[in-house]
Structure 1
């Protein structure tokens, strides 16, 4: 049998199909729970991001004092301090942080959508270029819709994205597990 990933034979992977299905069901159920309470899911996602920022900030601060030269130390220390402050902000005021993250998300979607549309138009003679343009337009529109509803929608948008991701990942794992069952 051929290797699927990291040298694991297909037969070994097939023997683990139930684990993939189990993980998929767990992720799918978590997605449904998040969908049931989008505000709580938003707060949980903000706390997760805050925890990552705190951890990253501490790493930056430790790294700052491993670097030679005060100009470099100052840069890394300030970067670390900003990360730590942003992480603390997520825990102190998750609603304000969710508003900032939602605004950032909307801007990122608009920029990505405009860029994707531009790339699709540049590919115009190639077959299928219209799909890329359509994808860019939908992405930019999603960003505009989120921006238009800001800051009120910041109470549920991040939770909706988390719920959708968990449901899609769960469905994918279930389908993969059942597909490799043999």
Structure 2
């Protein structure tokens, strides 16, 4: 199969970059292993991800409060304080009771997917005469369907859905990194 001039330019650019394919390949293998572990233990992966989000929210809440109290004379003091308290309380709830946190996050995630899918369908409808706009509709339908499936199974699916999504995401990132590393290795040889 003959390469186009565009492919030759891309290969030459890849050869010039100081990319180390071993790092991509190693990262890909590690992410694939982590994804398989997450898929094998979806409830544990859900709990771990909710605790992680809870820790980040708690840190964010403390930072909001520190900011609010450092700028007491500012008109936004009450807003920043309230925002910090809400972040901190939500984070502490997620840490202390990850299943409640998973239930809330799953509901929010499902609602986000429904809204995002509906928005993409609206964009498609506004641009349906455009070439290739069917892909926007396809993407919107898939996202909307995923959101509706999550919402229909809520709250029962809350203990495993976030772990499943995390596992799938780790697997896809792992495969992408592995394949990129192998492609770089081929172009550098």
Q: How many residues align?
A: 175
**1:61 paired residue number:** 65
**2:29 paired residue number:** 25
User: Residue 134 of structure 2 is aligned with which of 130, 135, 139?
Assistant: 130
**1:118 paired residue number:** 122
**1:12 paired residue number:** 18
Secondary structure (helix, strand or coil) at the match of 2:183 reads: helix
- Tell me how far apart the structure 1 counterparts of residues 40 and 54 of structure 2 sit (CA, whole Å): 23
Deviations 1:45-77 (A, max 9, x none): 101110110111111111112224264222111
- Return the TM-score normalized by structure 2: 0.88
Which 5+ residue runs of structure 2 have no aligned equivalent?
Answer: 1-11
- Tell me how far apart the structure 2 counterparts of residues 52 and 165 of structure 1 sit (CA, whole Å): 20
- Return the TM-score normalized by structure 1: 0.91
**C-alpha RMSD over aligned residues:** 1.4
Deviations 1:83-127 (A, max 9, x none): 111110011110011000000011000000000001011111111
Deviations 1:151-182 (A, max 9, x none): 00001110011001100110011011111112
Pair 1:108 & 2:125 matched: no
Which 5+ residue runs of structure 1 have no aligned equivalent?
Answer: none
